């Protein structure tokens, strides 16, 4: 492994990374969709199969989670227009930000209130279906409402599920697994918030706490699960199923945009800004969007200045073979959902040719944006979920952002653009904790 000084020589941007300065990086390995399409490890059929599976479970989900009934058991979030927030950003940054601003409100996803309600719940259901099919308990044509019964709870209680998490993945997998009847063990990193652990324990989930960060919680969880043949480990660093669960969002999003009369084509580019931790959530969504919209969509990841693991992995080409700690960055951030020091190698390699770029945001900026979003649009998000909303400012202000726009001939198309920021979580945060976040952001605005 090279020293930090050697890395800096090779990649000067690392100077800013180690000084916790906000950066914007455009991806030199980005390729036109046609060049990368044949090398992608998953196809649109895989995403469609995942969507079909979620449809099979919808009657069951509607039965056991009442808040999903208005969408008939489909776990999906609305899109909000945020024009007042846009105006406020233009005013603060003294910068015109052409195009329409939309917020994808995964903070309002039912069941677990974050983007993890996509991948996490999907993988638990997939595993449940695999077991039920294997033991002849169910057929694909059946109405899965039957899963809501003592018979199935007793069946699933013979099996367990384990996962390592900074909080939100544990919430989604813990809540879903406990509901269907699995025994479930969540290995929580030091960043995990107390209320998330309390909530899980109240649902009968076993929570094991670590003093170390996310990578350690995952490693320990994986190790312990290996010793029990009936324990299934949901591997956030490598899971194809989690990734597909997230990718389903893209199929639905393109329909939602059509319903809102938002055009995405050659002359109407779509920019999407996604907060990134280990990479599965934003990677899955970006991958799905590329399949659907190809060169008309431009995906950017957003990471905390103290946890830029995906940027580091992509820039050096080392993916999961390098961590932010290796270059002296501490991985300590208020954005608990993004507090990951080592990115997923699986995701990094898949998105290498399709990701447009990555930028970092300081914790103070996340808090300020949190207060601004509440003041302007009355939408309450958790700190991690604000990383995406500053994306259009970065694109328009940073030199590398401007170069990206010019290289892709997007200059005169910006006025027709749509900027979609992915709001990845927030509705489960207890009110008094949200008020603390808000007050902190409000005081930083002055
Ligand atoms: C987990 C999480 C993310 C990022 O997802 P990864 O799969 O870890 O990259 C973003 N925002 C919130 C609120 C999260 O909980």
Contacts of 441 (CB under 8 A, 6+ apart): 367, 368, 369, 370, 371, 372
242 touches ligand 1 (CB under 6 Å): no
Whether the per-residue pLDDT at 299 is higher than 90: the answer is yes
170 touches ligand 1 (CB under 6 Å): no
| Angstrom distance (rounded) from CA 322 to CA 314 | 10
Whether the per-residue pLDDT at 356 is higher than 90: the answer is yes
192 touches ligand 1 (CB under 6 Å): no
Between the alpha carbon of residue 394 and those of residues 338, 371, 403, 415, the distances in Å are 19, 19, 12, 16
Q: What is the pLDDT of residues 403-438, one digit of tens each?
A: 999 999 999 999 999 999 999 999 999 999 999 999
| Angstrom distance (rounded) from CA 371 to CA 106 | 18
Mean pLDDT rounded to a whole number for the chain: 97
113 touches ligand 1 (CB under 6 Å): no
Whether the per-residue pLDDT at 261 is higher than 90: the answer is yes
Nearest CA residue ID for atom 10, ligand 1: 275
Could you tell me the sign of the dihedral formed by the alpha carbons of 335, 196, 323, 5, in that order?
A: positive
Q: How far is the CA of 114 from the centre of ligand 1 (A)?
A: 8
| Angstrom distance (rounded) from CA 17 to CA 8 | 10
Considering the chain, what percentage of its residues have pLDDT values greater than 90? 98
| Angstrom distance (rounded) from CA 236 to CA 25 | 25
Nearest CA residue ID for atom 14, ligand 1: 337
The DSSP call for residue 99 is: S
The pair of structure tokens assigned to 308 is: 């830029």
Place of tokens 């900074």: 166
Of 226, 208, 227, the C-alpha closest to 216 is 208
Of 388, 381, 383, the C-alpha closest to 357 is 388
Q: Please name the helix (run of DSSP H) or strand (run of DSSP E) that holds residue 356, with its range, or none.
A: none
Whether the per-residue pLDDT at 263 is higher than 90: the answer is yes
The pLDDT of residue 341 is 97
Q: What is the pLDDT of residues 110-156, one digit of tens each?
A: 999 999 999 999 999 999 999 999 999 999 999 999 999 999 999 99
Q: How far is the CA of 34 from the centre of ligand 1 (A)?
A: 29
Q: What is the pLDDT of residues 208-219, one digit of tens each?
A: 999 999 999 999
The pLDDT of residue 338 is 97
Contacts of 340 (CB under 8 A, 6+ apart): 166, 213, 214, 215, 277, 278, 307, 309, 331
Nearest CA residue ID for atom 11, ligand 1: 424
Bridge partners of residue 275, in order along the sequence: 302
Q: How far is the CA of 422 from the centre of ligand 1 (A)?
A: 10
The pLDDT of residue 1 is 81
276 touches ligand 1 (CB under 6 Å): yes
77 touches ligand 1 (CB under 6 Å): no
281 touches ligand 1 (CB under 6 Å): yes
Asked which of 35-44, 146-155, 390-399, 429-438 is least confident by mean pLDDT, the reply is: 35-44
The pLDDT of residue 38 is 85
Strands 206-209, 183-188: pairing is parallel
Dihedral pair phi/psi, residue 329, rounded to 5°: -100, 140
116 touches ligand 1 (CB under 6 Å): yes
The pLDDT of residue 187 is 97
Whether the per-residue pLDDT at 320 is higher than 90: the answer is yes
Q: How far is the CA of 285 from the centre of ligand 1 (A)?
A: 12
Strands 100-105, 418-423: pairing is parallel
Q: How far is the CA of 424 from the centre of ligand 1 (A)?
A: 7
The pair of structure tokens assigned to 430 is: 């207890």
302-309 average pLDDT score: 98
Q: What is the pLDDT of residues 49-73, one digit of tens each?
A: 999 999 999 999 999 999 999 999 9
Q: How far is the CA of 172 from the centre of ligand 1 (A)?
A: 12
Cβ atoms within 10 Å of 300's Cβ, excluding its own: 28
The pair of structure tokens assigned to 176 is: 């879903």
| Angstrom distance (rounded) from CA 26 to CA 169 | 29
């Amino acid at each position: 492994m090279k020293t930090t000084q050697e890395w800096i020589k090779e990649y000067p941007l690392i100077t800013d990374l180690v000084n916790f300065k906000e950066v914007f990086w455009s991806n030199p390995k980005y390729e036109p969709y046609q060049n990368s399409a044949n090398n992608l490890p998953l196809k649109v059929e895989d995403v469609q199969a995942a969507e079909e599976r979620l449809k099979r479970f919808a009657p069951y989900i509607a039965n056991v989670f009442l808040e999903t009934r208005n969408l008939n058991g489909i776990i999906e979030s609305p899109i909000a227009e945020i024009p007042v927030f846009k105006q406020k950003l233009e005013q603060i940054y003294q910068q015109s930000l052409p195009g329409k601003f939309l917020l994808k409100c995964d903070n309002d996803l039912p069941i677990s209130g974050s983007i993890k309600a996509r991948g996490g719940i999907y993988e638990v259901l997939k595993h449940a279906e695999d077991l039920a099919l294997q033991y002849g308990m169910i057929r694909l044509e059946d109405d899965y409402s039957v899963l809501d019964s003592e018979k199935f709870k007793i069946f699933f209680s013979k099996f367990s599920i384990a996962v390592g998490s900074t909080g939100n993945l544990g919430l989604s997998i813990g809540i879903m697994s406990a509901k269907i009847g699995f025994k479930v063990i969540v290995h929580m990193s030091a960043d995990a918030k107390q209320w998330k652990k309390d909530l899980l324990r109240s649902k009968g989930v076993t929570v094991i706490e670590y003093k170390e960060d996310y990578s350690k919680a995952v490693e320990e969880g994986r190790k312990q699960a290996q010793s029990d043949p009936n324990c299934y480990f949901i591997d956030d660093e490598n899971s194809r199923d989690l990734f597909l669960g997230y990718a389903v969002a893209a199929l639905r999003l393109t329909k939602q945009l059509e319903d809102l009369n938002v055009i995405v084509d050659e002359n109407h580019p779509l920019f999407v800004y996604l907060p990134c931790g280990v990479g599965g959530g934003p990677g899955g969504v970006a991958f799905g969007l590329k399949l659907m919209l190809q060169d008309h969509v431009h995906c950017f990841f957003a990471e905390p200045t103290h946890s830029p693991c995906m940027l580091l992995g992509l820039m050096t080409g080392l993916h999961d073979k390098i961590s932010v700690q290796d270059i002296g960055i501490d991985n300590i951030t208020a954005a608990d959902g993004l507090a990951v020091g080592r990115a997923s190698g699986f995701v990094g390699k898949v998105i290498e040719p399709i990701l447009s770029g990555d930028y970092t945001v300081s914790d103070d900026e996340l808090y300020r944006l949190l207060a601004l979003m509440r003041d302007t649009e009355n939408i309450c998000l958790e700190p991690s979920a604000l990383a995406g909303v500053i994306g259009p400012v970065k694109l328009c202000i940073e030199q590398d952002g401007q170069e990206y726009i010019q290289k892709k001939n997007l200059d005169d198309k910006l006025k027709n653009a749509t900027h979609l920021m992915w709001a990845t979580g927030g509705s489960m945060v207890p009110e008094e904790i949200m008020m603390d976040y808000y007050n902190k952001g409000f005081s930083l605005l002055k």
